[in-house]
Structure 1
Amino acid sequence: MTLQGVCSFAQGEWVSPGEHTRRIADAVTGQDFAEAGGASLDFAEMRRWARQNGGNALRTMTFHDRARMLKALALYLGERKQALYDLSYRTGATLADSKIDIDGGIGTMLVIASKGRREMPDSQVYLDGDVEQLSRGGTFLGQHICTPLRGVAVHINAFNFPVWGMLEKLAPTLLAGMPAIVKPATDSCYVTEACVRMMLDSGLLPEGALQLVTGGLGDLLDRLDCQDVVSFTGSAETAFKLRSNPHLLRESVRFVAEQDSLNASVLGPDAVPGTPEFDLFVKEAHREMTAKAGQKCTAIRRIIAPDAHVPALIAALSQKLTDTRIGAPDLETTRMGALISNKQRADVLAKLELLGPETERVCGDPQNFDVDGADASEGAFLPPVLLYCANPDAAQRVHDTEAFGPVSTVMGYQDLEHAMALVNRGGGSLVASVVTGDGDVARQVALSAGAFHGRLYFNNATSMKESTGHGSPLPHMVHGGPGRAGGGEELGGVRGVMHYMQRTAIQGSPDILTAIGGTWFPGARETERDTHPFTRRYGDLQIGDTLQTASREITLEDVEHFAKFTGDTFYAHMDEEAAKRNPFFPGRVAHGYLLLSFAAGLFVQPDEGPVLANTGLENLRFMKPVRPGAHLKVRLTVKKKTPRTDSYGEVRWDVQLRDQDDDVVGEYDLLTMVAF
């Protein structure tokens, strides 16, 4: 039988496997069908290629350019995902499992692309936080910025998510402006290779932005320095070996780890049998035990319920697990497929042996179960196995041994404090979930367990129709956890991009900070032109363009008319003596919203023109009360520009309201959409 060669991609060329390869078996039949590794790769040249070609090309692009590239890549993959589904059956994954991996990865890339367009600037410098005034007069300022690292990101991924595991790392890496070398787990690397081929065939990636290693990494890690990043997903043991590499430690190479985890799910004290919450809890536990045959880093390994409800829980969950059809993953009737390999199956069985002395098996017999459409003795099949631990306080293995398959352990708790003590004995986890409708319970969980978890997932009858599930990391939220979970963090929107960038504190004059960050700061140079800024198109507006308006007197009649017209008759606007008793006002004062309205009247250009819409204002502050008789004027300055579509962009204006003494009485950011 001819084996399929799973290739690497290095320095712009596909490289076939070499002589010393590792064979890959079909998870369903147990038969070898592919081989990978053994190729002679020059890792020094791969790193140089990534840095000089991919890195340089990506850094010439803006964040928005990269975000558009990611969106186009995701859409391209979405049109070709059926081929990935077909390959994924060989990993033992059902179609539903494959959608978690493939559709989930594509969806993650789309979210990161959207975040890049909406939350990052159309430039090459990201401003992190607000400006800091470092001097009394405002001529010396500070600002934190983030810029791309100048090295390569080495992504070492696990076998269970050959597509999502790659794309969830690759999207923030490319958005940051950094090239990647991807190293998938060998058991499922053929799916990753197919996805990489698609992305390269799209022509959307700059040369050198993406390389693939389907064998070992050789001496690559020994060649990295402070500009490189290693991002790892896998076992705690392997993570420890990698992060202990003396060269990585000596060179202070960033190391991000997402490791195995003894995740827990807690049935809240209010979620008694017969309630929607109890049924929801059973449904979530069942799904996490059977999806991907339990091979998820976020799967529920410990099921923790009130002592009184443990029998009912075991009965309900055991029934659902017993009814789960196990079989060939391409059958429509199959609800749980195979593990990735017979080696993994053997590992799960060995872990069951370790858990045995502390537990009782209450559902699932690894030696006696039915498989539809496949030979259970040849493929990597196991039934869902539910264990019960009667004394979780005295137990150790149930809190430190993960059977990475369809295995979970039920244990009881006396009260919520006891439940949280059991949850935290996992030593740091990616996620813990709590099914409860009680806000006080949720708050106590957050305070007690937050420090041990990267994510806390609460669900109940209110949110269950729209919730995404205990085991679903979302690109908007951070994924990672302390302690045993690796101490790393991925995703989280723009937070995930920051792992591939350097945060730098810059200090200087307002003009210097404006030039670096592409955002106008108070005190920086202003330019007044002959034409009103609202008559100029997006491309004609420049950072620092300023309009100084005429002034308008605020009369007592204005204040009273505004109060009666709007219904805002707050005493500070209507009663002189009451206003004087207020420590903030010298007497009757103008409404803040009256000032905003008059300000708009002073700077708005009424004729039809390139300004399409006012979409909001932000950071509004009133600094000085305005008495009737005061004169109001406005300074309007182009602060920042961000393209939004092919026909218009967002212009952020710095707006200052000043009185006759030139004191600032109010300020805010005005957002307008302006035509190109």
Structure 2
Amino acid sequence: MTDMTIEVRAPFDGRLIDTVETSGAEAVEAALDTAYRLFRDRNAWLQPAKRVEILRQAARLMTDQAEHLAVEAAREGGKPLIDSRAEVARAIDGVLNASELLRSEGGSVVPMGGTTASLGRIAFTTHEPVGVVVAVSAFNHPLNLIVHQVAPAIAAGCPVIVKPAEATPLSCLRFVAILREAGLPEAWCQALVTESREVTGKLVTDPRVGFLSFIGSAAVGWSLRARLAPGTRCALEHGGAAPVIVAPDADLAAAVPLIAKGGFYHAGQVCVSVQRVFAHRSIAARLARELGDAAGKLRVGDPLLAETEVGPLIRPGEVARVHEWVEEAISRGAELLSGGSPLSETCYPPTVLLEPPPDCRLSTREVFGPVVCVYAYDDLDEAIGRANALPYAFQAAVFTRDFATAFHAYSHLDGSAVMVNDHTAFRVDWMPFAGLRQSGLGVGGIPYTFRDMTIEKLFVGKMV
């Protein structure tokens, strides 16, 4: 790494993939000046029909390049190729979703005439772009997260500056190039890999920024939010320690593979990965054993191989950290049912623990690795209380055949979404996706992000 470039290396074996130029304070200032001037010139705004055309053409280009995009994302991010292909398909659908919003998300009529003061008036609203959007993204979905932040900004008519994760900038740069090939003028979407956190801070906190979209760690996100200029809106997407409740009547044959998928997909590096499973005492040991068996059968290795189901962690330091947390839990009484030892400097096996102590790090913090903990409970409300006990709340799940149990869990769990008979990591990109408490601020999902990136502007006309 030099002062002017960073090396992008494959997390599985450290191979050099590419080098990328970094941007300092001068480049950030130039990007902000370009974007803000564009936003302030209303005559230069892209018309809705043009935005639709660009997004549709981008989706077509992405479809043509789908396999290349999947391989590139798998190489730089470490997600297995089978899952990277699914990510690319989601990203293409997300771009199309953004293009459709311009036909479905309109203003509204505000009734007049209901009071003497409002007689003889007509009122309606339209949408306008909120301003310059700055999008700071994470590594774990290097293409789809960028789409979630950038495509709604384009649909809304906002100039956007996007900063991808340093570990995975290539998918972002590829997507920006595709947008430009699709007809988007360069100034409307600028990608910067900033050279330091200080420079990122200058980008985010500048008063010319109208909206910050941040996906990443809670510590960084909340710190940036506290430093935003007055009037800058924001949405923060952090992580959690997603809870699953398994009732005694649950279909374990169906539940186990779903819990395994939700816990070990992308080596657990997902903000809503299954981490804490609360199973009724009558089935907890069996569930943990079967989950351990399922975990042990997953193939870990090179993400570019078709047979790989679990890839590496993003960097070796994360393997060491996850192992330290696992060893702590075992030393304090947790029973190890699968995994538990690094496979290499970069890969950690899918790991299942039964009854870690409630105050260890695996029980109280987001592991962001391939570890699932199982805890026995005696009473449903006890399980819900334990699930709700942490300062994080995002997506949760319950497995049961009983509607009353499902609805009771839905009504009492703190998550913004509760899945019934499915894992916590389920998502389609047009549904609301919201971290609560320390897990985030605002509502994600492409239509919701689009609304955040617009203002509703009122017209009131008086008849003369």
TM-score using structure 1 length: 0.63
Give the SS at the match of 1:301: strand
1:239-272, Cα deviation, whole Å (9 max, x unpaired) = 1221122xx1x5231121000111112213431x
1:326 matched to 2:280: no
Correspondence for 2:3: 19
Instruction: Name the CA distance, whole Å, in 2 between partners of 1:56 and 1:298.
Output: 40
How far is 1:355 from its partner?
Answer: 4.3
Out of 135, 159, 170, the position equivalent to 1:155 is: 135
- Partners in 2 of 1:314 and 1:337 — Cα distance? 23
Residue 432 of structure 2 aligns with an amino acid whose one-letter code is: V
Aligned equivalent of 1:220: 203
Give 1:489's aligned residue: 443
Q: 1:224 is paired with a residue of what secondary structure?
A: coil
- 2:347 alignment counterpart: 381
Q: How does 1:555-566 map to 2 (within 5 A)?
A: none
> Who wins on radius of gyration, i.e. which is larger?
1
In the alignment, structure 1 residue 101 sits paired with structure 2 residue 80: no
Quick one: structure 1 residues 62 and 191, their matched pair in 2 at CA, closer, same or farther if it must change by over 3 Å?
Answer: closer
Q: Secondary structure at the match of 2:444?
A: strand
The answer for the alignment partner of 1:560 in structure 2 is none
Distance in 1, Cα, partners of 2:355 & 2:247: 19
Q: Tell me if 1:232 matches 2:214.
A: yes
Aligned with 1:153: secondary structure? strand
- What 5-or-longer segments of structure 1 have no aligned partner? 4-17, 121-125, 272-276, 370-375, 461-468, 513-676
Asked whether the equivalents of residues 386 and 410 of structure 1 are also in contact (C-alpha less than 8 Å), the reply is yes
- C-alpha separation in 2, matches of 1:26 and 1:475: 27
Does structure 1 residue 447 correspond to structure 2 residue 425? no
Matches within 5 A, 1:170-189: 170-189=150-169
Q: 1:498 aligns with which of 451, 456, 463?
A: 451
1 CA distance for matches of 2:397 and 2:242?
8
- Checking the alignment, whether the CA contact within 8 Å between 1:58 and 1:209 is kept in structure 2 is no
Contact 2:410–2:418 at 8 Å: present in 1 too?
yes
SS of the residue corresponding to residue 214 of structure 1 reads coil
**20, 26, 45: which one pairs with 2:30?**
45
Please point out which of 270, 281, 285 is paired with 1:311. Answer: 285
Corresponding residue number in structure 1 for 2:99: 113
Distance between the aligned counterparts of 1:197 and 1:447, measured in 2?
Answer: 45
Q: Give 1:432 deviation, angstroms.
A: 0.6
SS in 2 for 1:73: helix
Change (3 A) 1:195 1:351: farther
- Which stretch of structure 1 is more off in the superposition, 177-186 or 216-225? 216-225
Partner of 1:252: 231
- 1:407-457 Cα offsets, whole Å, 9 max, x none, are 1111122222112112212323221112223221222122212xx322222
Contact 1:55 1:179 in 2 (8 A): no
Tell me, what secondary structure is at the counterpart of 1:257?
A: strand
Partner Cα separation in structure 1 for residue 393 and residue 43 of structure 2? 35
The verdict on how the C-alpha distance between 1:399 and 1:407 changes in structure 2, with shifts beyond 3 A counting, is: same
* Poorly superposed stretches of 4+, deviation over 6 Å: none
Opposite residue 141 of structure 2, the aligned amino acid is F
What does 1:354-373 align with in structure 2 at a 5 Å threshold? Answer: 355-356=329-330, 360-367=334-341, 369=343
Distance 1:317 1:289 in 2: 10
Structure 1 residue 62 displacement after superposition: 4.4
Which deviations, in whole Å up to 9, do the C-alpha atoms of 1:575-618 show, x marking residues without a partner? xxxxxxxxxxxxxxxxxxxxxxxxxxxxxxxxxxxxxxxxxxxx
Paired residue secondary structure (1:158): coil
Equivalent residue runs for 1:78-93 within 5 Å = 78-90=63-75, 91-93=77-79
Deviation at 1:212, TM superposition (A): 0.3
Who is 1:68 aligned against? 53
Q: CA RMSD in A?
A: 2.7
Whole-Å Cα distance in 2 between the matches of residues 310 and 185 of structure 1?
Answer: 39
User: Cα 1:135–1:63, aligned 2, differ >3 Å: closer, same or farther?
Assistant: farther
Q: Are 2:23 and 2:192, in contact at CA under 8 Å, matched by a contact in 1?
A: no
Structure 2's unaligned 5+ residue stretches are: none
The answer to whether 1:297 aligns with 2:271 is yes
**SS at the partner of 1:211?**
strand
Give 1:207's aligned amino acid. Answer: E
* Structure 1 range deviating more: 336-345 or 304-313: 336-345
Higher relative CO (Cα under 8 Å, sequence separation at least 6) belongs to 2
Letter in 1 for 2:137: N
> Counterpart of 1:77?
62
Instruction: Answer yes or no: is 1:413 the counterpart of 2:359.
Output: no
Structure 1 residues 204, 407: closer, same or farther in 2, change over 3 A?
A: same
Residue 353 of structure 1, CA deviation: 4.6
Q: Show the counterpart of 2:242.
A: 263
1:164 to 114, 122, 144: 144
SS at match of 2:168: helix
The correspondence of residues 398-409 of structure 1 with structure 2, limited to 5 A, is 398-409=362-373
Q: Is the 8 A contact 2:39 2:45 kept in 1?
A: no
- Distance in 1 (CA, whole Å) between partners of 2:20 and 2:324 is 27
Q: What's the CA shift string for 1:70-101, capped at 9, x where partnerless?
A: 22211211111222222223232211221233
Distance 1:396 1:360, change over 3 A: closer
Aligned to 1:436: 400
**Contact 2:293-2:338 within 8 A present in 1 as well:** no
Measured in 2, the distance between the counterparts of 1:58 and 1:72 equals 24
Q: TM-score with structure 2 length normalisation?
A: 0.90
Correspondence for 2:172: 192
Contact 2:11 2:315 in 1 (8 A): yes
Q: Which amino acid aligns with 1:402?
A: E
Task: Tell me if 1:352 matches 2:326.
Answer: yes
- Corresponding residue number in structure 2 for 1:458: 420
Q: Would the aligned equivalents of 1:264 and 1:301 in 2 still touch at CA under 8 Å?
A: yes
Matched, 1:140 2:125: no
For these two proteins, the number of residue pairs brought into alignment is 457
- Name the CA distance, whole Å, in 2 between partners of 1:129 and 1:281: 47
